[in-house]
Amino acid sequence: MDKAVAPGEQILRAFGLNGVPEPLAGGMGLCFRIENVVLKPTDDKHEAQGVSELTAHLLSNVSLEYRLSRPIPIIRDAAKYVHSGWTASTFLEGSSGSKPRIAETLSVSRAFHRDLAMAYFKKPRFVDERINRWSEADRVTWGEKALEDVDNVDFVILEILNPTLEQLKEMMEPLPRDLESQLMHADLAGNVLFDDQSGLAPAIIDLTMYWRPAAYAEAIMVVDSIMWHGEGKELIELCGTGQVWIQLLIRALYWREITFAIDPDEQFISANFGRVDFQEAVNALRRCIPSM
């Protein structure tokens, strides 16, 4: 999605808002704020509607362990949360901080995914219908689609990534057949906000839902910390040392790598591709596998 322009009067009226939208830091420069309401554009109205319904359902049971942004329906239809490509939800105070707060985020993640598992027993349609670089990379990672069948692959970037991708494929082993999937948040890193001054529970934002094992959410978060913050074996072993955990980490790193090559955002690639040592990330996982 290109950098957003502020929502117009028609959008504001649809959600019953008045005022001047101010750009909100974060969110890839796409979001705006009016008082305590955040307006966010979406490329996928079905996903946005589905996530809003999911959030509203979770909020029907009050949690003391985490906060969620309450979706705001449009004025003319209390069951509809998307209008002309925009959603609205309540603003949540807090900051992700400059360094990952892994132990606290893990605790929040486990409470959130426990509630998700109890609330949703079937995969929502929008998870299968969504098409973007992250969902396509997810299907490739989990063997549901071949990379050659994915549109808009940048083969120059893919060639750079191939050495580490091949190593990760060699490290992959089958997961137990009884490992259950459920709704899970695939982008927790940077999307759990802490407000130490108020004493409020941590807030979970930007719900990015996939249908995978709950521990895969933690694996992605750990891999992101390895890639972007130079974490290593100590962090990996904080979460576990078992074979299933290591295999989820391998898949998480494979997924994160190939998102760089599918329909790449040139501005993001230019700013971030050189910051990541993919080989060192693979080595960090390799050091946690006894036989390697």
pLDDT-derived band at 188, boundaries 50, 70, 90: very high
Calculate the average pLDDT of the chain. 93
- 97 inside domain: no
Answer yes or no: do 179 and 272 share one domain.
Answer: yes
Answer yes or no: do 141 and 233 share one domain.
Answer: yes
Answer yes or no: do 170 and 26 share one domain.
Answer: no
The CATH number for 86's domain is 3.30.200
Tell whether the model's pLDDT for residue 236 goes beyond 90: no
> pTM of the entire structure?
0.93
CB 239 within 8 A of CB 135: no
Answer yes or no: do 147 and 235 share one domain.
Answer: yes
- Say which range, 82-91, 94-103, 165-174, 238-247, has the weakest mean pLDDT: 94-103
Answer yes or no: do 186 and 47 share one domain.
Answer: no
Helices (H) and strands (E) in the chain, counts: 11, 9
Answer yes or no: do 211 and 267 share one domain.
Answer: yes
CB 226 within 8 A of CB 232: yes
- 173 inside domain: yes
- Quick one: pLDDT at residue 2? 56
- Quick one: pLDDT at residue 292? 55
Task: For 153-182, give the DSSP string.
Answer: B-HHHHHHHHHHHHHHHHH--PPPTT---E
- Say which range, 192-196, 253-257, 285-289, has the weakest mean pLDDT: 285-289
The CATH number for 246's domain is 3.90.1200
Angstrom distance (rounded) from CA 189 to CA 256: 12
- Quick one: pLDDT at residue 290? 73
Helices in 92-143 by DSSP H: which ranges?
102-119, 125-129, 133-141
Q: Which of 55, 90, 125 is the endpoint of a domain?
A: 90
Angstrom distance (rounded) from CA 80 to CA 78: 6
- 154 inside domain: yes
Domain that holds residue 241: 102-286
Tell whether the model's pLDDT for residue 229 goes beyond 70: yes
- Quick one: pLDDT at residue 97? 80
pLDDT-derived band at 120, boundaries 50, 70, 90: confident
User: pLDDT by residue (tens digit) across 255-264?
Assistant: 999 999 999 9
User: pLDDT by residue (tens digit) across 7-61?
Assistant: 999 999 999 999 999 999 876 779 999 999 999 999 999 999 999 999 999 999 8
